[in-house]
Amino acid sequence: MIGQIDSLDSLVKLIPIYKSAIPADLSIAVCDLEKFIAYYPGEEINLDIKVGQRINPEEPLAVAMRQNNRLQADVPAEFYGFEFVGTALPLLDDRNKVIGGIAIQIRKQSELRTNIEQMALSLSKAKLQIGTVVEGSQSLAHLSQELISQSEQAGKNVKETDLVLSMIKKVADQTNLLGLNAAIEAARAGEKGKGFEVVANEIRKFSKETVASTQKVSEITAQIQKVTKQMESSIEKIATVGNEQAESMQQIASLIEGIEQFSNELSEFVHKL
């Protein structure tokens, strides 16, 4: 019959053998009808039961002995600081009379489950945040490409400005030459060419001012072109960094997804313990 033994002392002597043979961390307590006569704590489960400690009439072991019935219950963490499964079994002599009881406690893996669930939640949040960073990096790279295109267009516009300035300079040079010729002809005409000489000199003055202005504008456009090229180079570097960052984040996201999947599998396994 289950629970029938020769004596409490003989059972107590066998408990260390049972504990070493069972592949689980557990604690075992043995009592007579009034008090505990032996207690063997586990490595991670210790209810701090003392030999000689009297049995609380309300605890499961006392109830099991009174009812002569095996009891099993989950004990919440509020009682001992951790959750465990407790089994209480009455012990009988050869006349089937209750002479004591044995209680076995096996710690549940609730803390591990909680940690795994928390890790899974953190990984899920991290994956979402990384996804946001990836989107931002991709948007940055896309924007950088647009800026590069605009910068290249600005460079083309500056080159077209150089062509216009070159044409203006040619016209100014021709105008200056025309004014010079007009001044020579006015000098030959003598007194009659005085009025024409004034006009010729104004034309030459205007052409020289035009040349000077075109040179100034040309210097400014050259500086703009230089700055534009520098901006284009910097934007290309930003685009490269953005693409590399997006790729790195995607790799990290894939790694986190793998860890998250493993965490879920581990959680399912722990729930079965």
For 197-224, write each residue's pLDDT tens digit: 666 666 667 666 666 767 777 777 777 7
CA distance 210 to 175: 10
Structure tokens at 74: 């989950």
pLDDT category at 113 given cuts 50, 70, 90 is low
How confident is the model at residue 169, as a pLDDT? 65
pLDDT category at 160 given cuts 50, 70, 90 is low
Contact present, 97 and 234 (Cβ < 8 Å): no
264-273 pLDDT, tens digit per residue, is: 666 665 555 5
Q: Given a cut of 60, is residue 175 above it in pLDDT?
A: yes
CATH of 113-271, one of 1.10.287.950, 2.60.40.1930, 2.40.50.1070, 1.10.3720.10: 1.10.287.950
CA distance 228 to 224: 6
Could you tell me the residue ranges of all domains in the chain? 8-108, 113-271
Span 129-149, average pLDDT: 71
Question: Best-predicted range by mean pLDDT among 65-69, 161-165, 235-239?
Answer: 65-69
The angle at the Cα of 215, spanning 209 to 217, to the nearest 5 degrees, equals 100
For the question of whether the overall pTM of this predicted structure is more than 0.75, the answer is: no
Closest CA to 110 of 74, 72, 86, 79: 74
What homologous superfamily does CATH list for 8-108?
Answer: GAF domain (3.30.450.40)
How confident is the model at residue 27, as a pLDDT? 93
CA distance 167 to 257: 64
Q: Of 59-68, 112-121, 149-158, which gets the smallest average pLDDT?
A: 112-121
Residue listed under structure tokens 């557990």? 26
Closest CA to 173 of 212, 202, 201, 199: 212
Span 70-90, average pLDDT: 82
For the chain, give the mean pLDDT: 76
Structure tokens at 110: 């609730």
Contact present, 193 and 187 (Cβ < 8 Å): yes
Q: Of 18-22, 118-122, 221-225, which gets the smallest average pLDDT?
A: 118-122
Q: Given a cut of 60, is residue 177 above it in pLDDT?
A: yes
How confident is the model at residue 197, as a pLDDT? 62
